[in-house]
Amino acid sequence: MFLGVAALVLLACVLFWLWAIAPQVAGRPDFTELKKYDYAHRGLHHKENGVPENSLLAFRLAADCGFGMELDLQLTKDNRVVVHHDHSIVRTCGVDKLISEMTYEELKGYRLFGTEERIPLFSEVLALVKGKTPLIVELKGYNDVNTLCTFAMEELKNYEGLYCV
């Protein structure tokens, strides 16, 4: 009798544990539309052909070719939302400066990988893409994430395209 009760308690504990670790699907967003696309990571870039990552040209090419795109956001010193992956511009512009320590006015004087392309504002990318293809938006943790999230979502408020953050 004792073994039967112990076995039932053990079974109940195992079932509860399995339920607790199972993915919760109720209330999840539906990503079906996003799954219909191939994605250009940081835009459809090709450095050797003069199309740097995270540039307006790379995003234009991705949208024109029907690719969704992934992009990274962070804030400048004056709280402008820009599209750039790295915390500094050393790899992309050859200058060891942090984006978070420059105003956008300072930042826009630098060029990506020796091209004429510069680090774009998020608003410029949204205006360029115009909802043609979906966006996967990553908020980089280089700044205060609450401030970045607030500004990014404000810019997305009137955007009519498909996106996830």
Catalytically active residues, by annotation: 41, 85
Question: CB-based burial of residue 42 (10 Å sphere; 0-12 exposed, 13-18 middle, 19+ buried)?
Answer: buried
In a domain, 114, yes or no: yes
pLDDT, position 31: 82
Is the Cβ–Cβ distance between 81 and 75 less than 8 Å? yes
**C-beta of residue 33 within 8 angstroms of C-beta of residue 27:** no
19 SS3 class: helix
1 in a structural domain:
no
Supply the pLDDT for residue 135: 97
Please give the helix or strand (H or E) that residue 123 lies within, else none. Answer: helix 122-129
For residue 98, count other CB atoms closer than 10 A to its CB.
Answer: 15
Residue 7 in any domain: the answer is: no
The pLDDT assigned to 25 comes to: 62
Q: Give the pTM.
A: 0.82
- Alpha-carbon distances, residue 115 vs 11, 56, 145 (angstroms): 64, 12, 30
Q: What is the pLDDT of residues 44-80, one digit of tens each?
A: 999 899 999 999 999 999 999 999 999 999 999 999 9
Given pLDDT bands bounded at 50, 70 and 90, which one contains residue 24? low
d(CA 19, CA 69): 35
Boundaries of domain holding 67? 32-164
Q: Note whether residue 10 is domain-resident.
A: no
Establish if 4 belongs to a structural domain. Answer: no
Q: Is residue 47 situated within a structural domain?
A: yes
Distance, CA of 99 to CA of 142 (rounded, Å): 9
State how many domains the chain has: 1
For 75, phi then psi, to 5°, come to: -110, 145
CATH of residue 114's domain is 3.20.20.190
Residue 21 lies in a domain: no
Q: Are 67 and 40 in contact (CB under 8 A)?
A: yes
- Per-residue tokens: 57: 């040209």
φ and ψ at residue 121, rounded to 5 degrees: -75, 150
- pLDDT tens profile 123-146: 999 999 999 999 999 999 898 999
pLDDT single digits (tens) 87-122: 999 999 999 999 999 999 999 999 999 999 999 999
128 in a structural domain? yes
User: From the CB of residue 1, how many other CB atoms can be counted at a distance below 10 Å?
Assistant: 5
Helix, strand counts (H, E) of the chain:
6, 5
